[in-house]
Amino acid sequence: MGLSLWVAIILLVVKVTAAVITGSSAIYSDAAESVTHILAVAFAAWALRLSHKPSDDTHHFGHDKVAFLSSGFEGAMISAAALLIVYEAGRQIFVGSVITDMGIGMILTAAAAVVNLFLGSALLRVGKKRQSALLRANGHHVLADVWTSAAVLIALLLVYFTGWKWWDPICAVLAAGKLLWTGAKLMRESFGGLMDEADLQVEKELRDCLDAECDARGLSYHNLRHRHSGRIHWVEFHLVFPDQTSLHDAHEIATLIESKVASLLGPEVRVISHLEPRSAEGVEHEWEVR
């Protein structure tokens, strides 16, 4: 994240330089997107540090849900940049502008796009490996910057070869549409995380694991619940044992099953099981029902 922040600052300087040299609204729009990118990355860097802060007396479940808040902010910043791009493109259509020194502008923009492509891919790869919504969101934001740079390059090439200056605002608007889609997707994912939306693929894997473990031991389970809080998976379920099973044996078996579930989801997981005798299986208290 530190690298991402420094790269964003350096590329902003590059894009502003290219915009001043060329006068292109598409490049100005790309630079404007980089301003919102810096704000989002700075917020994400703070959030990443906070998300790894351990639980304390006032935050018993840790601080990692801030990752969803950060990804939502990142999505909002991308959407704001898209609207700014549309505004700038519209202004150019009505006011008009002169594009100069397109060669330098294309070289600087292409260099920025290549750097962002490598950085964004790395952020997505690390975010997926560490199951970090925050890193993935920043990776999507960096790759969204690649899309705007690509639109700028296409616009400048079309203006250069056709002489028709309206390609500049048209490509800027197309890039803004892509940014709006990315921003809306990130905000949707952020809202789902804050609302503890269940991952259906993870649920299938959990049920397959619990079915196998319980069938092998003549047990059953119910009230499976799980959520991802940004860095940690939380899983809980009820295990039903024969009435004659001792508490010691039930605890040993439950611990083994919890270990299997934990190994399924990786190192950042918390698993809680509730033990029940079969004679009480149909009795559900209000605070137990999902």
Let me know if residue 171 belongs to a domain.
yes
The residue from 141, 161, 194 where one domain ends is: 194
Q: Please tell me the number of Cα atoms within 13 Å of 37 on its side-chain side.
A: 32
The pLDDT assigned to 26 comes to 67
Shared domain for 204 and 179, answered yes or no, is no
- The residue ranking higher by pLDDT, 165 or 250, is 250
What does the chain come to in residues? 290
| Pair 168, 26: CB distance under 8 Å | yes
Alpha helices in the chain (DSSP H): 2-22, 25-51, 66-95, 102-129, 133-162, 167-194, 200-217, 247-265
Q: What is the mean pLDDT of residues 50-65?
A: 88
Instruction: Judge whether 290 lies within some domain.
Output: no
Residue 113 sits in a domain whose CATH number is 1.20.1510.10
**What is the arithmetic mean of pLDDT over 107-123?**
88
Determine, yes or no, domain membership for 234.
yes
Same domain, 15 and 141: yes
User: Has residue 1 got a pLDDT over 90?
Assistant: no
Whether residue 18 contacts residue 58, with contact meaning beta carbons closer than 8 Å, is answered with: no
The percent of residues above 70 in pLDDT, for the chain, comes to 95
Taking phi over 0 as left and psi of -120 to 50 as alpha, with beta for the rest, 180 belongs to alpha
Q: Are residues 57 and 190 in the same domain?
A: yes
Residue 249: predicted pLDDT:
96
Q: Identify the bridge partners of residue 227 per DSSP, sorted by sequence position.
A: 234
Which of 66-75, 156-165, 257-266 shows the lowest mean pLDDT across its residues?
A: 156-165
* CB-based contact 63:230 (threshold 8 Å): no
Dihedral, 123, 128, 129, 135 alpha carbons, nearest 10: 40
Residue 35 lies in a domain: yes
pLDDT at 86 over 90: no
- Percentage of the chain beyond pLDDT 90 is 28
> Is residue 135 pLDDT above 70, yes or no?
yes
Query: Does residue 25 share a domain with residue 163?
Result: yes
Domain boundary among 173, 194, 215: 194
209 and 188 in a common domain: no
Q: Are residues 73 and 99 in the same domain?
A: yes
The range of the structural domain enclosing residue 38 comes to: 2-194
pLDDT at 183: 86
DSSP 175-212: HHHHHHHHHHHHHHHHHHHHTT---HHHHHHHHHHHHH
Q: What is the mean pLDDT of residues 33-38?
A: 79
User: What is the distance of C-alpha 8 from the center of its chain?
Assistant: 18
Q: What is the pLDDT of residue 7?
A: 87
Distance CA 273, CA 209 (A): 14
Q: Looking at residue 87, what is its pLDDT?
A: 82
State the CB neighbour count (10 A cutoff) for residue 233. 22
Q: What is the dihedral of CA 125, 51, 77, 138, to 10 degrees?
A: -10
Q: Is residue 287 part of a domain?
A: no
- Number of structural domains (the chain) is 2
Residue 2 binned pLDDT confidence (cut-offs 50, 70, 90)? confident
Question: Residue 211: its pLDDT value, please?
Answer: 97
Averaged pLDDT for residues 198-226: 94
Across the chain, what does the average pLDDT equal? 85
Whether 285 maps to a domain, the answer reads no
Residue 154 lies inside a defined structural domain of this protein: yes
